[in-house]
Amino acid sequence: MQDRSHERRAKNDPAGSGTHRRPGDALQGEPPDRGRAPLPTRVDDLPPLPQAYHRALDDGLAVLGLELDGGTRRLIDDHVRLLLAWNPAINLTAIDDPADVAVRHVLDSLTAVSLLRARRIDRLVDLGSGGGFPGLTLAAAVPLRRTLLVESVGKKAGFLEAAARATGLAGGRAGGRGGGSGGGGARSGVDVAAERLETIAARPTDRGRWPAVSARAVGPLSDLVELAFPLLQPGGVLIAWKRGEIDAELELGWRAIEGMGGGRLEVLPVEVPQLTGHALVVATRTGQVPAMFPRDPRLRKREPW
């Protein structure tokens, strides 16, 4: 996983302060774009999704054998509506056709629902959340009692917070502080952390406290293991979305697991025709994670597994 944190800070912190802004303020303080209307924060103001989107998602749900009640489906659809409205301005995804979004983002995210439900996981950290897949989708569909979306790019974190609020999934804590209290608590919902996971993993309130970490289209498996295992409680799982030929990646993933104190690794093929070649890679933490992990991104790049 290439370290571009300095580039992200330069883009998202034009004043050069070197600090992360709260997601709710992520779009504030930017030079105004005189040619662009304010980005929407209310779903009611957005056009409905086309029938092609609904047909594609319905077909995929039937293959998965997954039923979503009306309220859950509405939350997922509203997230997509907001994504499509914001995407031209801040490039959340290269996929802009609603039917393709239904399959390649929403349905792909939903392939982990049965796994999370079977393990009775109700709290999740989503690494590199970007446009909110799979984190927001899983928060609605599982459903999850607590979800922490980690996104170090300020504009994307701003979108995530807007989407969480617009759909009613938002938690009660302010973003940009890591959320804290990984062990749970009475308050439920989605929180956004506009910072790097290495920072969050160093906090006693989050280190070793989470039952699951998800990562979709973020980086190589060995990097994900190193980032996720320090957050996981014993028996906790990293769920990584992968596709294509991954044998070499799995070998490095095994090395990382051994170096992180030990664990198990399994590959679960996705049995959905629209997602041929996709798989969920599940890494389970069983040992004691050394205090030195996760390492600085530059060190991970210089000394990979």
Number of domains in the chain: 1
Domain-embedded: residue 115: no
CB atoms within 10 A of CB 80: 25
Of 67-81, 113-127, 161-175, 201-215, the range with the lowest mean pLDDT is 161-175
Of 29-33, 169-173, 202-206, 249-253, the range with the lowest mean pLDDT is 29-33
User: Which spans in the chain are helix H?
Assistant: 5-12, 51-64, 70-90, 98-101, 108-110, 113-118, 135-141, 154-167, 197-201, 221-228, 247-259, 297-302
Proportion of the chain above pLDDT 90, given as a percent: 76
Domain-embedded: residue 104: no
pLDDT: is 284 or 300 the higher one?
284
Domain-embedded: residue 47: no
Radius of gyration of the chain (CA): 18
pLDDT at residue 21 greater than cutoff 60? no
Domain-embedded: residue 74: no
Domain-embedded: residue 37: no
Domain-embedded: residue 296: yes
Task: Say if strands 146-150 and 123-127 run parallel, antiparallel, or are unpaired.
Answer: parallel
pLDDT: is 178 or 252 the higher one?
252
CA distance 166 to 260: 39
pLDDT tens digits, 149-205: 999 999 999 999 999 999 999 975 433 334 444 444 333 599 999 998 899 999 999
Closest by alpha carbon to 245, among 267, 272, 223? 267
Domain-embedded: residue 50: no
pLDDT at residue 29 greater than cutoff 70? no
Q: What is the CATH number of the domain that holds 203?
A: 3.40.50.150
Q: What integer pLDDT is reported at residue 53 of this predicted model?
A: 98
Domain-embedded: residue 76: no
Q: What integer pLDDT is reported at residue 305 of this predicted model?
A: 84
The amino acid present at 160, given as its one-letter code, is L
Provide the residue range defining the domain that includes 209.
5-17+121-302
Q: How confident is the model at residue 130 (pLDDT cuts 50, 70, 90)?
A: very high
CA distance 62 to 57: 9
